[in-house]
Chains A and B, each alone.
Chain A
Amino acid sequence: MYLQKFYDSIIRKVVNAVSNNAASEIVKIARKVSRPSALEYINHIFTGFIEFHGDRNFKDDKAVVGGIAMLDDMPVTVIGIQKGHSTEENIERNFGSPHPEGYRKALRLMKQAEKFNRPVITFINTSGAFCGVGAEERGQGEAIARNLLEMSTLKTPSISIVIGEGGSGGALALAVTDRVWMLENSVYSILSPEGFASILWKDASRSKEAAELMKITANDLLELGIIDKVIKEVPGGAQNDFAFTANLLKSKLRVELEELCAKDKETLLEERYQRFRKFGAFTE
């Protein structure tokens, strides 16, 4: 009895310590090479996933995966930004930084989902859209912009989940959805804390301070109303008990999709518009 109480209080302390993690600690967990990837969530949550490739214009970007699958008895379109668990895998996936053709592949699959009235679920894990010569030549800005515009009026329900890093426009390009969720140890930001510190303070070593200031953690963003739900992880991160987080996410997805699918299209689109319309801090 006494021992049980003691044990509980320790557990509580550990749990609190985890949920009150410093933002810079969460950044570390979010970037862990062992952090479960988009394909792992897709394969665990859905059945019969068939991956589709290519943007029909230039090539198949391996940093973005997508296709169709079943969520229990519901056909859905799933899209993810894929990181690897090793250097080799990461080189193949371009470290999870998509090129324009990756965003265009995602958009192609979303328009396909719209045609067949399938909900769209996106898994986001990227430090940002790729910054390179080819990316600029092929219109990285245009590709992201097009996704923002098209997703805002996509006539089918959509949910995005940040599962690791949500880096700037490269993440937003898959996150203009009816619901935006984050795993507990994920981050979503305008740029990395290192980038923020080096641009604003000319000192990348102040990244810890930047991480605290920027409000990039799931709980901070829930409080700001930027996201709608935080999905729990076990202490230390989802890699320590992947099934726990994946099962939890699956059950939340089922409930939420039931609700979104019940709405008529006009309501769905108006609510999505207002969801993003309200963001801004100004006086007049």
Chain B
Amino acid sequence: MNLFKKRKYLPVGNDGQSDTKKDGANEANTPSVPEGMYIKCPSCGQAIYKKSIGASKICPECAHYFRVSSKERVRMTADAGTFQEFDKKMEAKNPLNYPDYEKKIKTMQEKTGVSDAVVCGKCKIGGFDTVLCVMDSGFIMGSMGSVVGEKITRAFEFATKNKLPIIIFTASGGARMQEGIVSLMQMAKVSAAAARHSEDGNLYVTVLTDPTTGGVTASFAMLGDIILSEPKALIGFAGRRVIEQTIKQKLPDEFQTAEFLLEHGFVDKIVERDCMNNVLTEILRLHNPKGCERSE
């Protein structure tokens, strides 16, 4: 079975930009599902009747997964009516006094209906209690600044205190550049909270979705006890263009896909979107009760 069209490494000119590490915050915002009756599938290029992509947001022509907002993902994942959101009103400040950062945040809030790039809360999945965090790539590329870091840290602390599993759907271009060093510190803060949750023997499942890169990959995305991924999701540390400029070659299509990470041993299992809920339910069931502590 040939999963990928193998493309040869082709030489490419170094076209400038001395240093564009960690693409992230500012790549084109791919909207999840835009307004109107029809949408263009970014994968097969067909104009698709919007209703035909269904609740799972999958292209009927080529099975492309449209990016979904945090709200849609919560709806797809949590048992109906069980999700109780934490820290709904938390908003970013402007630690560097970056010009117009507040304005940008306001605009994104109006556009997406969420306060920042992650929604956290507790809910049931398949009847099992869990903490659930969902990142939103529609909010400044899902970049991690103070709010994302603080909300996820609190979610870990809540899960630790209440001996609950935590499931995080990642979708991020990396660090929130506008918050500078403060955004870098979020990586350490969240990882330390994940460590405490883990030391107490609690379950952490990451679900990598398109795209998961930069500082999120280099912190909590790669720290799950179990790491799942949606098919074909882009997952990596460095941006593709940065690497192409470094090695002066074009990279093959499959580089930094979920399938590439599975092959190299960094993902436990690739799960189709329609099966995700069932797989998460089964994983939660297998950890409740844990191991030898069988149920009566």
Contacts and interface: CB of A to CB of B under 8 A. Distances in A.
B185 A131 contact: no
Contacts of A190: 175, 177, 179-181, 183-184
12 contacts: A127-B19, A139-B265, A140-B237, A148-B218, A150-B195, A169-B237, A190-B183, A199-B20, A199-B25, A204-B16, A204-B18, A279-B146
Contact of A139 (B18, B191, B222): B222
Given A169-B219, A196-B177, A213-B98, 19 more contacts: A127-B19, A129-B238, A131-B239, A132-B247, A136-B256, A140-B238, A142-B266, A152-B191, A153-B195, A153-B199, A189-B181, A190-B180, A199-B23, A224-B95, A276-B185, A276-B189, A279-B149, A282-B146, A283-B93
A172 B189 CA distance: 11
B91 interface: yes
Nearest to B146: A280
A106 interface: no
B221 A141 contact: yes
B188 A216 contact: no
B255 interface: yes
B138 interface: no
B271 interface: no
A224 B183 CA distance: 13
A136 B24 contact: no
B21 A168 contact: yes
B27 to A, nearest CB: 9
Q: Which 4 A-B pairs have the closest CB atoms?
A: A131-B238, A141-B217, A152-B192, A148-B191
B70 interface: no
A191 B97 CA distance: 17
A272 to B, nearest CB: 8
Contact of A131 (B16, B189, B242): B242
A191 B149 CA distance: 18
Interface of B: 16-26, 87, 89-98, 146-147, 149-150, 153, 175, 177-189, 191-196, 198-199, 214-215, 217-223, 236-239, 242-243, 246-247, 251, 255-256, 264-266
A137 B194 CA distance: 24
A194 interface: yes
A81 interface: no
A90 B225 CA distance: 37
Contacts of A198: 17-20
A161 interface: no
B93 A145 contact: no
A251 B199 CA distance: 36
Contacts of A168: 21-22, 175, 184, 215
Nearest to B24: A199
A283 B215 CA distance: 23
Give the interface size bracket for A toward B: 35 or more
B124 to A, nearest CB: 26
Interface of A: 127-129, 131-133, 135-142, 144-146, 148-150, 152-153, 167-169, 172-173, 175-176, 188-192, 194-196, 198-200, 204, 213-216, 221, 224, 226, 272-273, 276-277, 279-284
A192 B153 contact: no
A172 B268 CA distance: 26
Contact of A226 (B90, B146, B181, B187): B181
B264 A282 contact: no
A141 B236 contact: yes
A37 to B, nearest CB: 21
Contacts of A188: 181
| Residue from B20, B87, B188 whose CB has the most chain A CB atoms within 10 Å | B188
Contact of A148 (B178, B181, B188): B188
B189 A279 contact: yes
Contacts of B251: 133
B12 to A, nearest CB: 14
A80 B203 CA distance: 34
B264 A281 contact: no
Contact of B191 (A176, A215, A282): A176
Nearest to A279: B185
Contacts of B220: 145
Contact of B93 (A140, A204, A277, A281): A281
Given A140-B237, A169-B218, A282-B92, A132 B243 contact: yes
B19 A172 contact: no
A189 B268 CA distance: 33
A144 B195 CA distance: 14
A169 B187 contact: yes
Given A199-B177, A277-B189, A282-B146, A192 B21 contact: yes
A277 to B, nearest CB: 6
B195 A200 contact: no
Contacts of A131: 21, 237-239, 242-243, 246
Contacts of B177: 190-191, 196, 199-200
Nearest to B90: A284
Nearest to B265: A139
A138 B265 CA distance: 9
A169 B19 contact: no
A129 B256 CA distance: 17
B147 A282 contact: yes
Contacts of B236: 136, 141
